[in-house]
Each structure stands twice: as structure tokens, then as C-alpha cells.
Amino acid sequence: MYEQAFLVVCYKLGASYHTGQWSPGYRLQCLASSRAARNHSAWNIGRTLEQLDGHVLYMQGGPFRNAVACILRSMRKHRFSL
């Protein structure tokens, strides 16, 4: 579960800082999606991120949502290097 939470955080940061095809955000997004496809073949990381943002499947206070929030909080010092 924590690997998937980490990949969702990387994909989310990549999507947030995506400025073009050669940007570091785009590279991070591609690396996260390729690793998700390699390690979890039936999992769609984009759909998971969409459901997280829309509060559809992962409700507030749930274990997966809390894991994503914890990893996001720990990576906040690296956001500005993108």
C-alpha cells in the first residue's frame, strides 16, 4: 500500500509541476506511471489520483489517504526543486 501511495504522490507532484514535455514534472509523472504499470499491472494510477481528488473512493481519514498525506508532507521540501 505504501508503494502505491508513494507512486500516487510522485504522479500528483509530476502533474502539478508539468510545464511541457521536457519538464522535470513530466519526467516524474512518466516514471511513476511506468513503475506503476510494471509493478501493479492492472492498476490505473491516474484514476486513483482522480478518485483521491474527488473524495469518491478514498474517504477522508482512510488508511490510504492518510499514507498519501504523510508522504506528501515528507516530500514538501523537494517540491520546489521540480
> How many domains, the chain?
1
Domain extent at residue 30: 2-81
Q: What is the pLDDT of residues 21-77, one digit of tens each?
A: 788 888 888 999 999 999 988 888 988 888 888 877 777 888 888 898 899 888 887
| The overall pTM is greater than 0.75 | yes
The C-alpha atoms of residue 11 and residue 49 are separated, in whole angstroms, by 8
Distance set, CA 46 to CA 9, 31, 80, 81 (Å): 11, 13, 23, 23
Q: Under a CB-based contact definition with an 8 Å cutoff, are residues 32 and 11 in contact?
A: yes
